[in-house]
Amino acid sequence: MAITAADVNKLRQQTGAGMMDCKKALEETNGDFEAAIDYLRKKGAKVAANRQDRDAKEGVVLAKTSSDHKHGIVISVNCETDFVAKNSDFIAFAEQVAKIALEKKPADVDALKALPYDNNINIGDKFMEQVGKIGEKIDIGFYQVINAEFIVPYIHPGNRLAVAVGFNKTVSADVAKNIAMQAAAMAPVAIDKDDVDSKTLERELDIAREQIRAEGKPEDMVEKIAQGKLNKFYKDSTLLNQEYFIDNKVTVRQFLQSVEKDLTVKAFKRYSLA
């Protein structure tokens, strides 16, 4: 297929890789963006880590929890421009949508949009009303629920990144906030090693194998070295195994156990705008 300049620019914005590298990656993968990103990683090109966050444009990302801290949500109400995202009326609208989602506990975006916004209109129609008022595309870019024994929300200043972390028991405000900030800053893909999905594991192994072969290592050593790289992936990308950002001599798991022996994280949701 023909690779356009717009395609190359889109991949460049998503990955941070060079223009010619992006063009070559798209040509080699017949325009498949996900495959092109893997191609760049295998070739050792600089690739932004959080590709999934790159789909969103502008908006407001919020995390909220119920008064008993057992139920929470993370939601992104999206718009086209930073100007609208910072508008107080738009922020208030996003806050109201989040409040309804927290109270009514809808299972997904479609169920949320079907809920009443007020006595006259449902949330889906209210979004359409806002589109007409603002003149930009307005929609829900992300919505997930979280349930645990004790949940803490964290919204990074600027409303572009939010996290909700669920613990197995009540914890102090300082401990809860620090772990939420850890999840916000370090962007883990899972809580622990066993929580990483098989597709992600195979993808990381496949990329590691190609990198190792490109370095000229013997074929009989490839799998062993790849497994070693996977262990580093676990350390970098799973919350409990990451270095604790306040004290890098301990992992998050070790820090939590120092607070209380059986204290751990049972769930987390994180979302960030690009």
Q: Which amino acid belongs to residue 118?
A: D
Which pLDDT does position 55 carry in this prediction? 40
Contact residues for 65 (Cβ-Cβ < 8 A; gap 6+):
71, 72, 102, 151, 152, 153, 164
Q: Are residues 26 and 41 in the same domain?
A: yes
Give the separation between CA 19 and CA 26, rounded to whole angstroms.
11
Which pLDDT does position 129 carry in this prediction? 81
Look at the alpha carbons of 81, 184, 33, 48 in this order and tell me if their dihedral is positive or negative: positive
Q: Are residues 120 and 141 in the same domain?
A: yes
Beta-strand runs (E) in the chain: 58-65, 71-79, 139-147, 150-155, 161-167, 265-272
Q: Are residues 61 and 128 in the same domain?
A: yes
**Minimum mean pLDDT among 67-76, 81-90, 120-129, 155-164: which range?**
120-129
Out of 162, 189, 205, a domain closes at 162
Given its phi and psi angles, is residue 252 left (phi above 0), alpha (psi -120 to 50 degrees) or beta?
Answer: alpha
Residue 224 tokens read as 């062993």
Residue 246 tokens read as 């306040």
- Residue 190 located in a structural domain: no
Count: domains in the chain:
2
- Residue 88 located in a structural domain: yes
- Residue 173 located in a structural domain: no
Give the separation between CA 29 and CA 37, rounded to whole angstroms.
10
- Residue 186 located in a structural domain: no
Give the separation between CA 16 and CA 49, rounded to whole angstroms.
10
CATH classification at residue 15: 1.10.8.10
Q: Are residues 24 and 101 in the same domain?
A: no
The sheet with strand 150-155 has its strands ordered as 150-155, 161-167, 265-272
Query: CA–CA distance from 167 to each of 146, 192, 257 (Å)?
Result: 11, 14, 12
- Residue 10 located in a structural domain: yes
Condensed to tens digits (0 to 9), the pLDDT of residues 123-150 reads 988 887 887 677 677 889 999 999 999 9
- Residue 113 located in a structural domain: yes
Condensed to tens digits (0 to 9), the pLDDT of residues 231-257 reads 999 999 999 999 999 999 999 999 999
Range of the domain at 38: 1-48
Q: What angle do CA 178, 183, 188 make, to 5 degrees?
A: 150
Q: Are residues 155 and 66 in the same domain?
A: yes
Q: Are residues 76 and 149 in the same domain?
A: yes
Out of 105, 138, 162, a domain closes at 162
Q: Are residues 8 and 72 in the same domain?
A: no
Antiparallel, parallel or unpaired: β 58-65 and 71-79 = antiparallel
Out of 102, 134, 162, a domain closes at 162
CB atoms within 10 A of CB 69: 18
- Residue 207 located in a structural domain: no
Q: Are residues 28 and 124 in the same domain?
A: no
Q: 56 falls in which pLDDT band (50, 70, 90)?
A: very low
Q: Are residues 37 and 81 in the same domain?
A: no
Q: Are residues 62 and 134 in the same domain?
A: yes
- Residue 167 located in a structural domain: no
Q: Are residues 149 and 71 in the same domain?
A: yes
Q: What pTM value is reported for the model?
A: 0.74
Q: Are residues 153 and 66 in the same domain?
A: yes
Which pLDDT does position 49 carry in this prediction? 42
